[in-house]
Homo-oligomer: A and B are copies of this chain.
Amino acid sequence: MTFEEKTLSSEIIYKGSIINLRKDKVSVKNGTSFREIVEHGGGSVLAALDENNNMIMVKQFRKPLNRVVLEAPAGKIDPGEDPLETAMRELKEETGYTAAKVSFLTKIYPSVGYSEEALYLYLCQELSGGEPCFDENEALDIEKYSIDELYRMVMSGEINDAKTIIIVLFIRNLQLEGKLL
């Protein structure tokens, strides 16, 4: 039987720039336990499709993996910002494009075991171009891929960033179902 864990006490371990860490003492079936929880403000992730249904992707060095990762454009939600605004802002910042048409796809939780992080996935269409204006610490390469190529890279394991796998598979399913205009 599932059992609701009530918070008995909570300790802030670390307050950082991207994440905080806290430790909650909780009630469990047989007494009490501890839960280590990463606090994260969430983010938006974009499937930005050009007029030929090619998807704009970014490559960047990711320190936790110590390598360059191919990803869908994404960024953190600023305090008080609506996830849709984040999506439009990050599209502009990371790729230089603006989208005339934006549709919500789904909301995902990357790591339900220890993180509060939620990501909002959007489809961005009817793009008009421009130059990317990077954040100070961002260093990105921009590349375009067809949906078929990205699908092949997901199923073969070449793409292994979770949010990117999900947005690629969502877009391909919409395309197969004739819902991608």
What is the CB-to-nearest-CB distance from A61 to chain B, in angstroms, rounded to a whole number?
5
| Complex contacts, A63 vs chain B, CB 8 Å | 5, 7, 24, 26, 35, 37
Q: Among A79-87, A106-114, A123-131, which stretch is in contact with chain B? A: A106-114
A111 to B71, CA, bound (A): 11
Residue A110 contacts which of B36, B139, B154, B162 (CB distance < 8 angstroms)? Answer: B162
Residue A64 contacts which of B29, B61, B116, B160 (CB distance < 8 angstroms)? Answer: B116
What is the CB-to-nearest-CB distance from A50 to chain B, in angstroms, rounded to a whole number?
22
Given A19-B114, A35-B63, A63-B24, decide whether A29 and B139 contact each other with a Cβ distance below 8 A: yes
Residue A160 contacts which of B34, B65, B109 (CB distance < 8 angstroms)? Answer: B109
A interface residues (Cβ-Cβ under 8 A, vs B): 1-5, 7, 13-14, 16-19, 21, 23-24, 26, 28-30, 33-38, 40, 59-65, 68-69, 71, 106-117, 136-137, 139-141, 154-155, 157, 160-163, 165-166, 169-170, 173
